[in-house]
Amino acid sequence: MHSTFSSVFFSGLADQIWRGFQAVNRRLPQGRVPSPAWAPGRLLKSSERSKPPLGIPRVTESLCPKCTLEKREAILAGGSDAPQLNDASETIKAYLIEEAGRILLRKMCDRHGPFEDVLSTDPDFFRRMEALCEGHDLPCWGDSEVHHHNLCSVKYGRGGFLIVDLTNRCNMMCNPCFMDANQVGHIHELELADIKAIFERAQAFKPRREFNVLFSGGEPTLSPIFLESVRHARSCGFKRLHVASNGIRFAQSEDFARAAKDAGLHGVYLQFDGVTDQANRHRGVGNLLDVKLQAIENIAKAGMKTTLQSTVINGRTSASVGSIVEFAIQNIDKISHVIFQPIMFSGRDERVEDEIRYQRRYTLSQLAADLKQQTNFGWEPMRDWVPLSAYSALARVLDLLRGPDAECGSVSPASHPDYCVTSPLVVKRDKKKAYPLFSFFNIEQFNRDLNAILDSARGATLTRAQLTLAVFRNINTRSLPPGLNLPDLIDLLRQTTARQDSRSPQWKHETYGKSPWYMTIIIGQFFQDLFMFDLHAIQMSATQVGCQDGEIPFCAYNSAGWRQIVEPQNNAVALSVWKRVHGPERIFAKGKEVPLSSPVSLPILINKTN
């Protein structure tokens, strides 16, 4: 009772002090924001930030799915040069409209006719995400050696993730597969010199921000330089080091998990399609669920946490999204976050038939609705979901607090609001019970407060004080989860800031928190394929692939032809030649089981055969 009273009192007091301070603040001239060394110029105030075209109806720039594939094939055949890929001649108009309760993207190619796809099944949800868009990050500067990919060049920001594909080899044969692993006729693997060049380029342009490194593939743990690459990234000063994995090597060897942790790995993004054997059957591995459970256990024993990464296919895995989140909550000591990625029709699926594409397409609004229906957390799509870019408002205030002498800025995931959304949950660790953060926290007002703090630019002390007031005044104490008190709220704030600002020596511990409560982030990431390609979204991509040809937006790399151009021109070896030297790859497919040396010990909630 005392803790609840303290929270109520402190929230009310914070609101009164905030209102009094702002009454004075608005009468004073605004301060000057700094021009830190990591930025291309001074930080931008809210009125100075640009935004991509938004609203319905609207017109945007896109590509023809068939023309793009034809252009790629011509380049590979030697008929033209790679720099011509995705040039202005390929652009066609795309129209975003509302029709029959959906948001549609329609476009017409003079040669190949009309194309149509669904961006949202809930127009109100779609408009909410766009209304909460915080706009572009700072423009890129000094990036001519990094972003030189014609229409698909990044123009804004550093992005939240840099993906480094170590190899296109894989020990599974998944369907779907956005990169068509094991089917392209060549082996492409980065060498350590490539890794060094990628990370050197990543620090060579502005804005220089903190970001997450995600080693990927194929299956990146098959790369002979996987551990060495992690060690090198750590030696360069990168802290947020992750790997996207199917989990087989982690499941087979606890020693491997420990070696990855010792090399500097921070966490594992684990492919995870459901908590039943049936939900994983389409991947082709006979005991895949047991593999996932053992991998999570071994990763935890090594001192790391797992982020579940699930590909959602309408009618196939969409019924599992709720149970995946519930599984994460029940194992919150081992699992940090969950990322849902609606199917991307690229790689193995780039020539999908229209009827199948319509059947399998899954939108972010469907994800929000399905999670409400399939869980009992009290999720409300129109209250509890925001675009991931909403976090960039906090990043800008943290940038202000870093001051002019900072070497880099905070993590700022300033992605397009149509393609990436998030909903944080606060979880009582011992009770394994979750509550939507925005059921008791006013995120819309909080972001307005953050912009007011940035615009007034009152110096570090007053900025930090205003940030604290803004947090606590936006808490609805009448809706607080039972047992959540003032010290817990302070710890949740520390968890949030540590995920964007790692300057504290204890940032890893602060990220996971020390109170009985943990904040887990549920993300919906709608990667674009050619059927829904929006060049304005591509140019502000927050997920970029670092390769031998600079940094390319993930969607452009895997959908618009860049992977198929870059790989054969750099270190690629014909598959037949590679097999003669190394022997055939061991691939787990067609029901083949992965040998596991230790028993599965991680509990799951429901019968595996459901």
Tell me, what DSSP letter sits at residue 82?
Answer: G
- Find where tokens 């870019």 sit: 389
Q: Within 13 Å, how many C-alpha atoms sit on residue 276's CB side?
A: 13
Which region holds residue 405: left if phi is over 0, alpha if psi is between -120 and 50, else beta? alpha
The rounded mean pLDDT for the chain is 93
- The domains of the chain are located at 155-360+542-602
- Nearest residue to 367 via CA among 397, 325, 414, 415: 325
- What is the per-residue pLDDT for 597? 83
pLDDT, residue 80, reads: 54
> CA 65 to CA 178: how far, in whole Å?
15
User: What's phi and psi for 313, nearest 5 deg?
Assistant: -115, 125
- Is pLDDT of 610 > 60? no
As its CATH architecture, domain 155-360+542-602 has: Alpha-Beta Barrel (3.20)
CA neighbor of 18 nearest in space, from 488, 471, 476: 471
Contact present, 221 and 245 (Cβ < 8 Å):
yes
Instruction: Give CA torsion, residues 548, 551, 553, 559, to 10 deg.
Output: -10
Cα 211 to Cα 235: distance, rounded to the nearest angstrom: 15
pLDDT at 378: 96
| pLDDT (0 to 100) of residue 515 | 95
The reply to whether omega before 218 is within 30° of 0 (cis) is yes
pLDDT digits (tens, 9 = 90+) for 78-134: 855 555 888 888 899 999 999 999 999 999 999 999 999 999 999 999 999 999 999
Neighbours of 573 (CB within 10 A): 14
Residue 267: which of 257, 252, 275 has the closest Cα? Answer: 257
Range scoring the smallest mean pLDDT among 275-279, 325-329, 481-485: 275-279
The tens digit of pLDDT for each residue in 512-538 reads: 999 999 999 999 999 999 999 999 999
pLDDT of residue 83: 52
564-571 average pLDDT score = 89
pLDDT value of residue 363:
98
Residue-wise pLDDT tens digits, 252-295: 999 999 999 999 999 999 999 999 988 888 898 999 999 999 99
Q: What is the structure's pLDDT at 184?
A: 79
> Per-residue pLDDT averaged across 442-464, rounded?
96
The number of residues making up the chain comes to 610
Residue 600 to residue 275: CA distance in whole angstroms: 14
Token pair recorded at residue 383:
């209250």
| Residue 422 pLDDT exceeds 50 | yes
Which residue, 545, 549, 546, 544, is CA-closest to 569? Answer: 549
Q: How far is CA 440 from CA 371, 378, 425, 443, in A?
A: 19, 12, 11, 9
Checking if the pLDDT of 202 tops 50, the result is: yes
Q: Tell me the DSSP string of 469-487.
A: HHHHHTB-GGGPPTT--HH
Q: Is the pLDDT of residue 601 over 70?
A: no
Cα–Cα distance for residue pair 159/391, rounded to 1 Å: 12
Please give the Cα distance from 84 to 162 (Å, whole number).
24
**pLDDT value for 607:** 41
Predicted pLDDT at 191: 97
Taking 3-state DSSP, the helix, strand and coil percentages for the chain, each rounded to the nearest 5, stand at: 40, 20, 40
